[in-house]
Structure 1
Amino acid sequence: MQLAILSWDALDERSWPGVSDMEPADVARVLAVYATRVITPRGSTAVSGLELMTALRPPTRATQDPTTGNWVSGHNPGSLGTEPMDPAPPEATPEHPVVVDSGWSGGFLNEEAYQWVRPVDLLADEECTLPYVVGLDLNTAFLAAAARLVVGLSEPDHFRAPTFNPKIPGSWLVDLSPVEVDPRLPSPFTPDGVRPTGPAWYQTHTVAYAQELGYNVAPLEAYLRRETGAYLDPWHDRLKTAYVDTLADLGVTKDLMDVEFLAAMERHKDADPAMAAVLAAIKATVKGGIGKLRERPQGKRYQEGERWPALQRPTWRPDIRAAVISKARVNMHRKLTNMVKMTGLYPLAVLSDCVVYPSPGASPLDFLPYAASGKPQPGGFRLGPTPGLAKLEGVQPMLWAVDLMEQGYNPARHIKGGDAVLDEGE
């Protein structure tokens, strides 16, 4: 039996907005829909996200012993197995035993979501005369990145001066500083969008993107995994269906024209607060689940080098988290680049899955690329209700954005009208 004791904050307001104040019947409905579409919630949405991964890729399955003919528990191919696995040193966190015990000082992966603001001196006069800035938010960008994502399933092996292979998941030490990128765009290789200054560790997707941009990558070393698989596929498929179905219950369906979609999104939270809470919980499940793959130690008594409880899980896999975020950031940069080609517009700021553009009007329809037929141009940002497509995050005056940028703030954080939470999968 599952109990949700609301007075004990069983349903965190950030993940289950408004639920603790609902009538009992509505609370029951919220939890029932979530349990049906996602998983029976146990603990936080982050825990549920992790539990769902294991439930959909169980570590064991029944196998027949060839000698006795008896059915026994055996490894389930494609799963993470039953035993925890240490990461390669550059994939670990600084306090991890593989780092502390080895004295590792070779640097770490820094595959995180974007936090970038264009330098104010790179704003053109024509941009500053546009009246508005419009924020676009990509629906569950991490979930979209998890689709068909090949990750490592076995332990990392160390290689020196390997030939880069974009099909092998892992971490590569490579110098991407020579790659030329328009300074009006963030660097695709760093979370702060600043050009790298020398060799650093990157996940496969980041290095593959450098190759896609025409750079001849020459890794100095790498930690790679021989056994691979699309571990997150069933997790992605279930959560995508849950997200799309719940949005549809709120009146936001796939068949809407862009104008209708924007109108439906504007009123969807008021259509049914209970289903809106389910939608929020699904989004929190995605981000929390990815974050749990690299759960850090908690508590004041923790000392560097000690193993903490999360390390006992086969699902403590910072390399998988890095793969998701790397792919999401590369996807974002590819869209930013395509937008320049199609519209000539450059972003003012990016925060995780939110991007802010200067606009001649107060709607995304005023600057997004459309074909003569009225259909959205592929490759750039497109409006829609499925993971990876965009919705309106907010609209503000251009002067508001420039003022924030001059003060060193990120307009993408505030364009909704408050202070956005950086969803970095932590």
Structure 2
Amino acid sequence: MDYPARGRSTAAGPLAVLAATASGALTAHLADGSTLTCPAADIAGLLAWATTAGLGALAVKAGGLNTGPLLVLTDTATTLLTLPPALPSPAHRHPRSDHPVHAQLRAIGWQTNVQGLAPWTTLHPVHGDPTADAIHLAITAWGALHDDTWQLPTHLSPPQIAQLLSAYTRLLRTPTGPPGECGHRLMSDLRPPAHRHAHTNALLCHGAPGALAQSVNPAPCEAPDGHRLALGRTAEDRMTVEDIDWWRPPTDAEATAPYVVCLAVNLSHVAGSNNIRVAAGPARTVQHPDFDRRTPGSWFVDLSGTPQHPHLPTPYVTARPAWHTTEAVAYAQQRGTPIRPIRAHLRTGTAGPYLNPWYQRIRDARLAVLARLGITPAMEPEVLCQELESPGGDPISRLLLAAVDATAAHSIHVLAQQPADPDHTPGHPFGTPPLPTWRPDLRASLIANSRTELHRKLCMTARTGYLPLAVHQDHILFATHTPSILEITSPSGSGFRLGLSPGHVSPAGTHTMAWYRHHCAQHVNPAQLLRTPTQ
């Protein structure tokens, strides 16, 4: 079966949500609200239809690759196409297994990509390119959309799913996996590397300046647990990067306040990501280097000379001699800490703000969805607070906002996620995947940058007379005399600004001081209770 990937029509839009009708036919619900009849009765017929239906999306960025069609198979479509009603066992998912679905695909000259059968499955011709010639399946009966981090309600109709996913495509990209994977792919969508066809070697796209084009190993201190470079590593040689998780009992004066308010930092890991410098090359080890805040890398340095306020969390996971990112060391230097690195792993190649277009895309998408909900930055603070606490509007737009936020938050962790390699034996060390955007060092930089920026804002707010009671990741609690976060955000000089963009804050709940003291007595971080969706 030929697949006209290059130059194919995308007139029907990026995706189709397929559902069976009462008469036993398939209806494809498209992005623009229209429908098409799909004559397929099996996977072969589905692929034959998809290659000629005019489905697909143009490249997110000029110089990049187009995205193949997304076909969402609802439960009824899965049944009609005689696909298994449940996700096959791990052994049968493997792309070289003898499962009947794989056999059907091979019989028509198609195959899955290296991940095999999955809730989100990518197919391409045997002699095609896994990236350029792909058709993407989201199989809801196997867990796509409803049981993964999309968390879409099961009562959504096929037209509603098509409406939601097409809006997501316009704002970010065609969804071809869970939100975190989409956000990770968006990074390279917006700075695409040059790409040659896997079989013909034809140049399919020229790429863009500043793209990450080669896979590089992490430095030993940056390697996630389980990586080959982490074997035999001591605790001292492991970089520990975590968000702040801290709380304290209230002072006697704070205990007289009637309220405890919670501020949530919007997309805290995204905020400031546009300024993080990323270099494409591998790390080189340097002994006793001079610190340079413009050089991406990891530095083994003693930060114990940093002054510490007794009622504020530390900006670093540890201040003793340990591995720290450039962002953490730069913040310590700003605070007057003498910086004398013992050694460093420094990235080679030209460094630049690789994530700048990604940050802008995420920010603009979030603002656009909030505008659909009637929430804009121009609102008076009191009205904005009220709208953010109890958002109304279209339920699809609220689901879309959750998807945009999940895309931003989860994509950070995909940067260091163990690759889904079907040939990897669980429990055995894994190697660096052949993916230029697999960058544990970048994940560490984003978290460290978020942590130090939060600490900076806490210090600024402390000068207005308000000290935090508890912090968990992006949630901060303060003792207040009013049940509104405006008491914290309104004073001149406060580090926190009420707003909608990444780094601004939104209200995340108000409780009594008695509630706070009760959880302190239970030795529980009260901010964590508000951060956990189930609480």
The alignment's TM-score, normalised by the length of structure 2, stands at 0.69
Measured after TM superposition, the shift of residue 223 of structure 1 is 0.6
SS in 2 for 1:291: helix
Hey, what does 1:324 align to over in structure 2? 446
RMSD, aligned CA: 2.3
Mapped to 2, the partners of 1:28 and 1:73 lie a distance apart of 29
2:175 to 11, 16, 41: 41
Give the corresponding residue for 2:71: 3
Which of 457, 481, 485 is the equivalent residue of 1:364? 485
Find the aligned partners of 1:72 and 1:356 in 2 and give their Cα distance: 51
Distance 2:438 2:458 in 1: 32
- Report the alpha carbon displacement of residue 57 of structure 1 after superposing the two structures with TM: 1.1
Looking at structure 2, the residues matched to 124 and 157 of structure 1 have their Cα atoms a distance apart, in angstroms, of 48
Asked if 2 retains the 8 angstrom alpha-carbon contact of 1:173 and 1:202, the reply is yes
5+ residue gaps, structure 1, are 63-69, 371-376, 421-426
Q: Are the aligned partners of 2:300 and 2:321 in contact in 1 as well (CA < 8 Å)?
A: yes
Q: 1:75 to 1:220 in 2, by over 3 A?
A: farther
**Corresponding position: 1:115 with 2:239:** no
Q: Does 1:209 align with 2:336?
A: no
| Among candidates 142, 146, 154, match of residue 20 of structure 1 | 154
The answer to whether the 8 Å contact 1:164/1:219 transfers is: yes
Matches for 1:214-293 after TM superposition, within 5 Å: 214-227=336-349, 228-268=351-391, 270-293=392-415
Question: Equivalents in 1 of 2:496, 2:154: separation in Å?
Answer: 36
Structure with bigger helix share is 1
Helix, strand or coil at the partner of 1:339: helix
Distance 1:266 1:312 in 2: 43
Report if the CA contact (8 A) 2:259-2:479 is conserved.
yes
SS of residue matched to 1:312: coil
**SS across alignment from 2:221:** helix
User: What does the per-residue CA deviation read over 1:158-210, in whole Å, with 9 as the maximum and x for residues that have no partner?
Assistant: 111111111111100011123221121000011xxxx53x2010001111111
Secondary structure in 2 aligned to 1:314?
coil
Kindly name which structure, 1 or 2, has the bigger radius of gyration based on alpha carbons.
2
The residue identity in structure 2 corresponding to 1:236 is Y
Instruction: Tell me, yes or no, if the aligned pair for 2:472 and 2:531 is still in contact at 8 Å.
Output: no
Give the Cα separation in 1 of the matches to 2:507 and 2:530. Answer: 10
For 1:335, give the aligned amino acid.
Answer: K
CA distance in 2, matches of 1:398, 1:357: 10
CA distance in 2, matches of 1:51, 1:12: 21
Contact 1:138 1:353 in 2 (8 A): yes
Q: CA deviation at 1:354?
A: 0.8
Question: What is the alpha-carbon distance in structure 2 between the residues aligned to residue 146 and residue 19 of structure 1?
Answer: 31
Q: Is residue 176 of structure 1 aligned with residue 306 of structure 2?
A: no
Structure 2 unaligned segments of length 5 or more: list them: 1-68, 73-138, 197-201
**Candidates 515, 519, 531, aligned match of 1:400:** 515
Q: Which residue of 1 aligns with 2:65?
A: none
Displacement of 1:87 in angstroms is 0.6
Task: Say which SS state the counterpart of residue 327 (structure 1) adopts.
Answer: helix
| Residues 1:408 and 1:92: Cα distance change in structure 2 (over 3 Å) | same
- % same residue: 33
2:377, 2:163 → 1: CA distance? 24
Task: Please report how far the alpha carbon of residue 349 of structure 1 lies from its aligned counterpart in structure 2 after TM superposition.
Answer: 0.9
**Structure 2 CA distance, aligned partners of 1:24 and 1:381?**
41
Match of 1:373 in 2: none
Matched residues in 1 for 2:345 and 2:305: separation?
23
SS at match of 1:48: helix
Distance in 2 (alpha carbons) for counterparts of 1:417 and 1:152: 35
| TM-score between both structures, scaled by the size of structure 1 | 0.86
**Aligned pair 1:302/2:429, yes or no?**
no
What is the deviation of 1:418? 5.3
Matched length: 392
Q: CA deviation at 1:330?
A: 0.7
Relative distance call for 1:294 and 1:358 in structure 2 (3 A) is same
Which amino acid letter does the alignment assign opposite residue 204 of structure 1?
Answer: T
Q: Once the two structures are superposed, what CA deviation does each residue of 1:347-376 show, in whole Å capped at 9, x if it has no partner?
A: 111111111111111111233343xxxxxx
CA contact (8 A) 1:13 1:19 kept: no
Offset at 1:346? 1.1
1:80 partner amino acid: L
Cα distance in 2 between the residues matched to 1:140 and 1:378: 22
The residue type equivalent to 1:362 in the other structure is: P
| Match of residue 210, structure 2, among 78, 81, 96 | 78
How much has 1:135 moved relative to structure 2? 0.5
**Secondary structure of 1:16's partner?**
coil
Distance in 1, Cα, partners of 2:376 & 2:155: 28
Hey, what does 1:50 align to over in structure 2?
184
How far apart in 1 are the matches of 2:400 and 2:151? 9
1:137 to 249, 253, 264: 264
Instruction: Specify the SS of the correspondent of 2:433.
Output: helix
Map 1:329-344; keep pairs closer than 5 Å. Answer: 329-342=451-464, 344=465
Q: Could you tell me which residue of structure 2 aligns to residue 66 of structure 1?
A: none
In 1, Cα distance between the equivalents of 2:190 and 2:333? 34
The equivalent of 2:530 in structure 1 is: 415
Distance in 2 separating the partners of 1:341 and 1:389:
19
Q: Report the CA distance between 1:75 and its aligned residue.
A: 7.1
Partner of 1:423: none
Q: SS at 2:408's partner residue?
A: helix
Aligned partners of 2:222 and 2:238 also within 8 Å: yes
Deviations 1:23-82 (A, max 9, x none): 3222211111001101100011111111111111111179xxxxxxx989777541110x
SS of alignment partner, residue 147 of structure 1: helix
CA drift of 1:415 comes to: 3.1
Question: Which position in structure 1 is the counterpart of 2:30?
Answer: none
Kept after mapping to 2: 8 A contact 1:19/1:274? no
Contact in 2 for aligned 1:394/1:416 (Cα 8 Å): no
Separation in structure 2 between the aligned mates of residue 75 and residue 209 of structure 1, nearest angstrom:
34
Aligned CA distance change for structure 1 residues 417 and 362 (closer, same or farther; 3 Å): farther
**Are the equivalent residues in 2 in contact too, given 1:161–1:222 (CA < 8 A)?**
yes
